[in-house]
Structure 1
Amino acid sequence: MGVRAGGQPGRGTQDAELSVPLRGNSVPGHSLAPGSPATGAKFIKDPPVGPLPLASFLSAGDGGGATRLPWRRAVFVLGAIPSAAMASQQQCRPRPTPCGSKSPPEQPLQVKVVGLFKSSSFHIAKSAAESLKSNYPSKFEDPIIVPLQELAWDRYLQEKKQELKNEIWEYSSYVMCFVNNQFLGDAFDFQKWAQKMWDIVDFKTPELYEALTVDYSAKFLRDTKHDFVFLDISIDLHPIGRLIFELYCDACPKTCRNFQVLCTGKAGYSQRGIRLHYVGSIFHRIVQNGWIQGGDIVAGKGDDGESIYGPTFEDENFSIPHDKRGVLGMVNKGRHSNASQFYITLQPTPYLDRKYVAFGQLIEGTQVLKNLELVPTENERPKQQCMVIDSGDLYA
């Protein structure tokens, strides 16, 4: 259907027609706007769940007074795996094959740890998995360790809640541990299982894990070779938090450079006297189930903008798909008309592919984006002022 210049992530001072399949929505365009804030990378502690043992491998003497939470398994079949010493003491029992015949070789166990990369509990579980492999190399496969950034972890957890349903519906830890694809629990459950069944005891202190987490987090981000920037956001002058973006500077170096410099304000003023800085700009458009849009650093109306290269610059490429929530892209008013306006997707928006240049991904600020998404609107214009109150390089 026809859409005004603000119909898609685009910018324009006069009406224009854009035809895009929008599922009932328009598309990000100037006259439209997305944007958000950021915070520094710190390790995250899990909620005080505590080392609640699994019933499958606890004896009556393990302190059965602990309250079990809804996601705890009543039975964990791997808890019954005998140690090598126990197996050697077992007598032969009547079986279809003679007692003296060779049994099939025992298959090694596969441990998988998935969690928020800057959570100390993720590193506790990671350490336990590595210790099991180190101490029992023939009993365990190399552990599968999957560190996730905040937005990716939130998406993974929601998918697992749908898959496992009541078993983990109220699960709130920042790590999930699996053995042979069976859900075991959080880091404390995993530690308990490793100690009970395999005599693995962790002597590292919480302070040491905090230090390990900080070091790992910084290295994890820097190893990507990408740039990271932040936007701090307020709603009606009340700060609500920070949005952190990963910029794919290897795929779209010129576009990423424009956004990064506009975050830092290092370019000063343009030739027509526009301050080239996102601080003080607003999110002027919220499209439900579509995107939020901002970055009009001229007047905040959604019909203007300015790049660090001049009024506009060309579409660099369309290599980054709009395939998930949190994709960061440039608003335009037609081909090769990128300036300063940008958008952040609220869900997969494939109808924006090859029309708008995506160049980054929101990696932190899950709740901030949700808060912006919930701001009431009138004709897609927020009724509350959603402003960028600070911005810059994450590791300046």
Structure 2
Amino acid sequence: MASTQQSAPCSSQSPPEQPLQVKVVGLFKSSSFQIAKSAAENLKSNYPSTFEDPIIIPVQEFAWDQYLQEKKRELKNEIWEYSAYVMCFINDQLLGNALDLQKWAHKVWNIVDFKSPALYEALTMDYSAKFLRDTKHDFVFLDISIDFYPIGRLIFELYCDTCPKTCKNFQVLCTGKAGFSQSGIRLHYTGSIFHRVVRNGWVQGGDIVAGKGNGGESIYGPTFEDENFSIPHNKRGVLGMVNKGHHSNGSQFYITLQPTPYLDRKYVAFGLLDPILDPQNLEMWDRDCMYCQLSPRRFLLSHLGTGYLGITARCK
């Protein structure tokens, strides 16, 4: 009788190696995100049996800020002073920023990145354009003058996917395409003023009735409802709608000059100053509004897409 062949005990076999997976989470318009993305893809391409497909997660700016704060609370002292625009993980363990991933890929896996900084900048621009097309975000370009003297440009990203109705109201008021309201108000920001500028606080304008801060009208009627409170007031440059209480948005808007978390869930934010496309980043308001208590100054803002936003503004 033939003997039964015994299987080798499990303990004599080498345990299978766990495949590696790189995860990259970062600000979509940052070149460091592109560097990390490229490193992760190169690892998979050169070692397909060792690495699983990388997880690449591009996020918008306000989402990145929230993600970073959550990770700081989770990991505590390990990344408390972390300031990069991207985080890289190996099997869900934090490795570091884009440079850390590049160094690890070179030291452990002998992968060298030969792409130039200029190439990464070009890749970032192309990727950002596609990302924004996919998310249906729009941009508003505001050329600013003080007493008709040009001082710079502000560029705002409008979160049309998050607050489509609020963004449409702002865009149409900028272009004037809605004409006049039933009450005879011209639905256009041209000629309106910034009636309030609070240093280190916010700038406020958009009263298209008398410019005193007690009027305004939306393209939907006198007022419209609060769309949502998804976007936090956690930094400079947040663009939001002024109201007189819940569901009373008209045409007045504000731009924050610093984090104003006390506005969360009270005012609808729908856009954000782009700090990468606009290096001035509201510094003109800090610099010039120190004189606002002494004398009125007039700000002229213009150009939105194919239309024009002509707003004269005075500091108070």
Q: With structure 1 as the length reference, what TM-score do the two structures score?
A: 0.57
Of the candidates 226, 242, 259, which is equivalent to residue 154 of structure 2?
242
1:50-129 equivalence runs, <5 A: 101-129=12-40
In the TM superposition, what are the counterparts of 1:324-363 in structure 2 within 5 Å?
Answer: 324-325=233-234, 328-333=239-244, 337-344=248-255, 346-349=259-262, 352-353=265-266, 358=268, 360-362=270-272
CA RMSD of aligned residues (A): 4.5
Amino acid at match of 1:368: N
Task: Give the Cα–Cα distance (whole angstroms) in 2 for the partners of residues 386 and 155 of structure 1.
Answer: 36
CA distance in 2, matches of 1:259, 1:136: 50
- Select the residue among 296, 299, 305 that pairs with 2:216: 305
5+ long unaligned stretches in structure 2? 1-8, 309-316
Deviations 1:54-80 (A, max 9, x none): xxxxxxxxxxxxxxxxxxxxxxxxxxx
Q: Number of paired residues?
A: 290
CA distance in 2, matches of 1:157, 1:232: 32
- Where in structure 1 are there 5+ consecutive unaligned residues? 1-97
Q: Deviations over 1:120-139 (max 9, x none)?
A: 22212101101212332342
Contact kept? 1:176, 1:186, Cα under 8 Å: yes
Distance 2:294 2:68 in 1: 30
Distance 1:273 1:320, change over 3 A: closer
Q: Which residue of 2 aligns with 1:277?
A: 189
Separation of aligned partners in 2, 1:110 and 1:394: 45
**CA 1:382/1:118 → structure 2, altered by over 3 Å: closer, same or farther?**
farther
SS at 2:87 equivalent: strand
- Superposition deviation, residue 213 in structure 1: 1.7
**Separation in structure 1 between the aligned mates of residue 115 and residue 233 of structure 2, nearest angstrom:** 38
Does residue 198 (structure 1) correspond to residue 109 (structure 2)? The answer is yes
Distance 1:382 1:325, change over 3 A: farther
* Gap change, CA 1:267 and 1:385, over 3 Å in 2: farther
- In structure 2, do the counterparts of structure 1 residues 197 and 295 end up closer, same or farther at CA, with 3 Å as the change threshold? same
1:382 and 1:151 mapped to 2: Cα distance? 36
Alpha carbons of structure 1 residues 384 and 362: separation in structure 2 relative to 1, 3 Å: farther
Q: 1:262 maps to which residue?
A: 173
- Aligned residue among 219, 224, 232 for 1:314: 224
For 1:309 and 1:99, how far apart are their aligned partners in 2?
Answer: 72
Which residue type is aligned with residue 392 of structure 1?
A: L
1:203-251 Cα offsets, whole Å, 9 max, x none, are: 4344433332221111100101344334455678673652413233675
1:392 aligns to what SS in structure 2?
A: coil
TM-score normalised by structure 2 residue count: 0.68
Identity of aligned residues (%): 56
* Structure showing greater relative contact order (alpha-carbon pairs closer than 8 Å, 6 or more residues apart): 1
Residues of 2 paired with 1:106 and 1:386: CA distance? 67
Q: Is the 8 A contact 2:185 2:209 kept in 1?
A: no
